[in-house]
A = this chain, B = another copy of it.
């Protein structure tokens, strides 16, 4: 147990990851069975960026970014760094200098369940960041943690090498072994959604498109005219 840096981690196929990234977080999340979403607490610091990469993970001590430096060495082109802390932390563990280092190694972005700083500079660099906070609070480099072990981020397990997709809707994690299946399912979903989009744009209702009228009836939902509802005391009926 403990403070390890795992090397030589196998990654999801980067070509598959890139195709998943093109489909976006919501579509991929649905395609893998409505799982893997890292929650509404991780927000992009920029607008309009959609990216993907293979996870290198880091577990830091609160107020300490030592292990992000250790993780940088494990990164290779196509990776996306995923960081959390041993306990809740909003400090600015990551900034423009670390982004410069990661960009030089071909890293595609950062997902961090903690804070980042230098956000104006990060936006200007075009280095995509999804974080739980923006904070200038600096950190020390004193306490050990781990790199490339499974971690929890936003209530989901992220394992090294998993496919990470991120856009304005947040971040989704696709298990490494399931990336291929996820892509097939997501492409099928995109096709179905395009049909739905046209039907809905043409005025068809979701009630009919998805066959929900029977569901409503089966669950006892009644239609009541406002006049009758109000006469019966309205909300007090």
Cross-chain contact A201 with B88 (CB below 8 angstroms): no
Task: Kindly list chain B residues whose C-beta atoms are within 8 Å of the C-beta of A92.
Answer: 26, 169
Cross-chain contact A236 with B87 (CB below 8 angstroms): no
Cross-chain contact A142 with B144 (CB below 8 angstroms): no
Cross-chain contact A138 with B30 (CB below 8 angstroms): yes
On chain A, the number of residues with a Cβ less than 8 Å from chain B's Cβ atoms is 119
Task: Kindly list chain B residues whose C-beta atoms are within 8 Å of the C-beta of A212.
Answer: 66, 69-70, 141
- 8 A Cβ contacts from A198-221 to B: 200-207, 210, 212, 215-216, 219-221
**A157 on the interface (CB 8 Å rule)?**
yes
- Cα of A8 to Cα of B228 in the assembled complex, Å: 10
A157 interface neighbour in B150, B176, B221, Cβ under 8 Å: B150
- A1-44 to B contact mask, C-beta < 8 Å, 1/0: 11111111110000000000000111001101111010110010
A175 interface neighbour in B115, B151, B155, B235, Cβ under 8 Å: B235
- 8 A Cβ contacts from A86-108 to B: 86-92, 95-98, 100-101, 103-105
- Cα of A230 to Cα of B176 in the assembled complex, Å: 15
A144 interface neighbour in B10, B168, B178, B221, Cβ under 8 Å: B221
Cross-chain contact A227 with B87 (CB below 8 angstroms): no
